[in-house]
Structure 1
């Protein structure tokens, strides 16, 4: 058995069941003794989930026995489609076939192997095959799988299993469109593997330019003779990377086109599964998402976006950390307790050069817990603006307003020391305060008068926050877009 299993990639079925091949039912003992290992999935199939799934069928075998051939074939076809759906499915149909051919699986074991594979497939299709990679986790999301069992069982009973995956996948536009683009790129990469890959110049006659746009699913043709079509496709390519969309081939577009196709595939796979995770969470409660590469904030509730805005996030030398936390307070007229690194590297040298610098920028030297620190007073010159949103994290970063509004006019907004500046802080604070928004509006009407003291408000309902590094999404035209890999996470 070990000899055969070593030849099968991705399938480690440790079966300790000595049951008769004629056994017609699955027992909880059978399930508890079957261990599906070797999966990279962060959402493994649990024993209770499998037991619950079989209970829907009265603990009868589902994919073995008389009349189960079509059901079995449909399940295998779905498992083979895992790459199209960006699912890292390590238990393959071929592996199960090979094990059965050499007699290593009984009917019960075979049935369990297929069921567990199918449930894992749909767990990953619904919730994503990976959790977001975060530097700090103030909370974690543990999805329940009961409704996955119900939709899979219902589809099997109504013979709708072949269409179930696309039905689930296409509920969310961003997931549907990124999956479609992933499929195009994968197909064209395979079909045109021997064609030139790199683009070396910005010449309008560059076949390599159109070849690369075609491989990335941006164009439907590699025609370079039609000048209008060529320019239109360059515009679409520029939009795909968030560049100035004027139809002029520049080195910035070449740089994006020369990123290896394998990297683009990995970025799409990551993004698709991140959005599955996000959508599943937002069905339970509202969630604020800050995407660092996009420099954008969205507030989700179910399948709706309650609020969107541009953000300014950390520059590569002082990156914004990824994290999950909970927004608990809104601070109006905040102090800025200046981090030691900023004080030492930037402000203290400026103060030494110009003794009047501190007074001009409303900066005081204060004692905080026995330490001497710099603090900026509330008011018009405060670097946090008029509003700060507080949430616990070990990095001392937060969401805040800014007096430097001009940065929001830029496409690439990576300028901060790690904190996140909001384009629409009043709207965000108002959403968090709910019924007390009128009080906030009254304060904002007074403007940024100096000499005010901070006012702290508890939010109406604590809001989960995730700050992550999601490499792809949709642009304003509903087209797939690859965000700048500003921190080099996908090199």
Structure 2
């Protein structure tokens, strides 16, 4: 039995025990009569095992209610305590671990409070502590985003757990308030449902079929691994319920139309080109074990908790892991497009900003690192490269100076650094295409068009130097301008080859995120490759 399965079995037992204790053993003993003095003494006890900040929070919470008990009261049935413990027991469904909220210890204390006032006091205080911690973790994330992912630069939401719990108690809406702590977006909730389903499958100890590596298998081919792939599709149907995966059992080695349809649906689910060809990337996706997908769901639910609850009425969500940009208006996606992101050694970070203006027919001011590592070797191989590609060469420290004829420079003599500044003129060869979208950020990243349209047909689109290349730049321009289509003057400016800056009527919020498990508007959960190994690093940090 795996560590995860043993924890799940323990959780199920604890939940059942809680239920039986409440249902079959009504608690009426005088041991339940605890007073403010007992709570105050408990919080002054240095042997609680809690950190000073946690004790300070508890003292602040109880001081506001004059140290009167909240959970262990004379109320018949202790409904508030039931609500609190049931909520703590539900942490696993949120991708968290109930052991972080002392569920087992709380359950043991619950069995003792009928005979021990000290157990009752400890249960009172520790239930509050666990609830405050879980409320905070659900509202803003279990971990510090920057500690678990060094490339995440979006501020986590602010949340006052003490004020939240005080208001929930005051308004007598404890259960309803607790249920609204985690993100209420359909995306998060669908990941949560999928996680629950996958966790149940894991407990059944199903062995995931592994597909051996092979040359690319094309529709109509006959191959000995086809029966295994059919069985793997049956497991995918059990896991995800997509009708395309529900195949008729067969030992045929023919890659037939029915299986092609299933593979195309599987490729779409995993962010791959839906060409029906069973190549390396498709086999890799088929071989991802269910246990890894459970971990993937958990870490991405954590990332969604890091995001602000309100992203704005109109905003852009750019998922670098999924190679996709979505423009959202009134909580509905109105524009989707493929994107190209940074190479693994120039990975695009996660951050937020706001588009403020667009540049038509832009120049490309080449960063020195790109000039040195990417463009200089091309010039050294082909002495006409800079000229034919429209690059002008300037002294590195004198950009206002006259351009230097590249033929007068011995490019092969450059061994270190790059003592020049390169600028590419607007035109058909310009790497930024016809338009770029600008927003303030510390990474010098922007969105832009590209002349290399064929790259959008690739599965893994890590070809840029960190900036984002757009499949549909002009559709995005119309959205940014709040237009159904581009104005005539805008279109005329595009074809003029003149460099023109156009300011947006209102800044457009933008969120650059890295999320490898995502639910679309059709309520399908998609899984994307961990192209930058950020899932792997985050999961190691979390020890999930």
2:428 matches 1:386 = no
**Mapped partners of 1:54, 1:152: distance in 2:** 17
**Mapped partners of 2:360, 2:495: distance in 1:** 10
Structure 1 residues without counterparts, runs of 5 or longer: 1-8, 10-19
Asked if the contact 1:99–1:105 (Cα under 8 Å) also holds between the matched residues in 2, the reply is no
Structure 1 residues 427 and 359: alpha-carbon distance in aligned structure 2, compared to 1, 3 A threshold: same
**Which residue, out of 78, 86, 90, partners 1:81?**
90
What are the superposed Cα offsets for residues 15-57 of structure 1, whole Å, 9 maximum, x if unpaired?
xxxxx97324899998799998589xxxx989679957996x7
What are the superposed Cα offsets for residues 198-228 of structure 1, whole Å, 9 maximum, x if unpaired?
3337322567524642674456999862699
Partner of 1:112: 125
Partner of 2:526: 481
* 402-411 or 479-488: bigger deviation: 402-411
2:271 matches 1:242 = yes
**Mapped partners of 1:173, 1:223: distance in 2:** 29
**Which residue, out of 111, 115, 134, partners 1:121?**
134
Asked if the contact 1:141–1:281 (Cα under 8 Å) also holds between the matched residues in 2, the reply is no
Q: 1:420, CA displacement in angstroms?
A: 0.5
Query: What is the aligned length?
Result: 460
Structure 2 residues without counterparts, runs of 5 or longer: 1-9, 11-31, 213-223, 399-418, 537-544
1:12-23 residue pairs with structure 2 within 5 A?
22-23=34-35
Q: Root-mean-square deviation (CA), in Å?
A: 4.5
2:370 matches 1:347 = no
* 88-97 or 239-248: bigger deviation: 239-248
Asked if the contact 2:109–2:119 (Cα under 8 Å) also holds between the matched residues in 1, the reply is no
Partner of 1:266: 295
2:70 matches 1:62 = yes
**Mapped partners of 1:62, 1:309: distance in 2:** 52
* 349-358 or 259-268: bigger deviation: 349-358
**Mapped partners of 1:50, 1:286: distance in 2:** 42
Asked if the contact 2:361–2:435 (Cα under 8 Å) also holds between the matched residues in 1, the reply is yes
1:277-296 residue pairs with structure 2 within 5 A?
277-278=306-307, 280-282=309-311, 287-296=315-324
Asked if the contact 2:152–2:349 (Cα under 8 Å) also holds between the matched residues in 1, the reply is no
Asked if the contact 1:218–1:237 (Cα under 8 Å) also holds between the matched residues in 2, the reply is no
Partner of 2:218: none
Q: 1:184, CA displacement in angstroms?
A: 1.3
Partner of 2:467: 419
Partner of 2:188: 175
Give secondary structure in 2 for the equivalent of 1:294.
coil
**Which residue, out of 174, 191, 194, partners 2:204?**
191
* 136-145 or 380-389: bigger deviation: 136-145
Q: 1:299, CA displacement in angstroms?
A: 4.0
Structure 1 residues 295 and 45: alpha-carbon distance in aligned structure 2, compared to 1, 3 A threshold: farther
Partner of 1:140: 155
Partner of 1:225: 249
What are the superposed Cα offsets for residues 121-180 of structure 1, whole Å, 9 maximum, x if unpaired?
33433444346555466662432447854784378x35x72x766666684221121111
**Mapped partners of 1:386, 1:407: distance in 2:** 17
Structure 1 residues 333 and 186: alpha-carbon distance in aligned structure 2, compared to 1, 3 A threshold: same
Partner of 1:94: 104
Q: 1:65, CA displacement in angstroms?
A: 1.7
Query: Taking structure 1 as the reference length, what is the TM-score of the superposition?
Result: 0.75
* 288-297 or 130-139: bigger deviation: 130-139
Partner of 1:71: 80
Asked if the contact 2:95–2:301 (Cα under 8 Å) also holds between the matched residues in 1, the reply is yes
**Mapped partners of 2:282, 2:97: distance in 1:** 30
Query: Rg: which structure is higher?
Result: 2
**Mapped partners of 2:389, 2:62: distance in 1:** 65
Asked if the contact 1:388–1:398 (Cα under 8 Å) also holds between the matched residues in 2, the reply is yes
Q: Which has the larger share of helix?
A: 2
Structure 1 residues 363 and 217: alpha-carbon distance in aligned structure 2, compared to 1, 3 A threshold: same
